[in-house]
């Protein structure tokens, strides 16, 4: 099973790309952090990211979702990974919890995810939501931290530049449809349609 990570700054369009891929029949796994926030807010906790166990809760959900994902099709796409949680900890100025260290060790040792990561670039704005309370300027800093974290752990970034949603989905699909065990060459994916 080839498991690909889709990452980038908040508001870059990852969820739209993921849903587009799902609509086209690609197996996808939703982001854990957004779900952790939504569950906590549904219980009346307005800012769950201030809770000490916030990062542990994300790690637990990421791991559970990865282990529960059915091994169907040649490739799966994950909206974020434990490396994103590492970037979040750094961005928030929090120590890396032992649960996250252990999970990063597990995904590295077991080679859970492909070393090439779809890095969705910002769209030039960041629309706030109930769970996403970050300015565009803050999102650019968060984007930089994500990029640094992935590179520090030896991942290669496949840039998905700002473009029309259909073109971004097509760029991701072009990699997903490439057969064989070899990782694709890192770099910038073109937005040309066949």
Position 188 confidence tier, pLDDT thresholds 50, 70, 90: very low
Domain membership flag for residue 193:
no
The 10 Å CB-count burial string (b at 16+, else e) for 21-45 is beeeebbbbebbbbbbbeebeeeee
Domain membership flag for residue 194:
no
Q: Which tens digit of pLDDT belongs to each residue from 127-145?
A: 666 666 677 788 888 999 9
The answer to whether the CB of 147 falls within 8 A of the CB of 2 is no
pLDDT score at 63: 97
State the total domains in the chain: 1
pTM: 0.86
CATH number at residue 56: 3.40.50.300
pLDDT at 11 exceeding the cut of 80: yes
């Amino acid at each position: 099973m080839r498991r690909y990570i889709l990452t980038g700054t908040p508001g870059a369009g990852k969820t739209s790309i993921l849903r587009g891929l799902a609509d086209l029949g690609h197996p996808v796994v939703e982001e854990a952090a957004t779900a952790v926030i939504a569950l906590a807010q549904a219980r009346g906790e307005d800012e769950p990211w201030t809770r000490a166990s916030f990062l542990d809760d994300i790690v637990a959900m990421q791991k559970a979702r990865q282990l529960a994902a059915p091994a169907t099709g040649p490739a799966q796409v994950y909206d974020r990974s434990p490396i994103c949680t590492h970037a979040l900890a750094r961005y928030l100025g929090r120590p890396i919890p032992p649960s996250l260290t252990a999970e990063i060790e597990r995904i590295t040792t077991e080679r859970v995810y492909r070393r090439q990561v779809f890095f969705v670039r910002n769209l030039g704005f960041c629309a706030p939501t109930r769970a996403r309370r970050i300015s565009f300027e803050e999102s650019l800093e968060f984007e930089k931290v994500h990029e640094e974290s992935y590179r520090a752990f030896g991942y290669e970034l496949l840039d998905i530049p700002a473009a029309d949603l259909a073109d971004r989905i097509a760029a991701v699909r072009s990699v997903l449809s490439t057969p064989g065990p070899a990782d694709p060459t890192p770099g910038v994916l073109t937005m040309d349609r066949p």
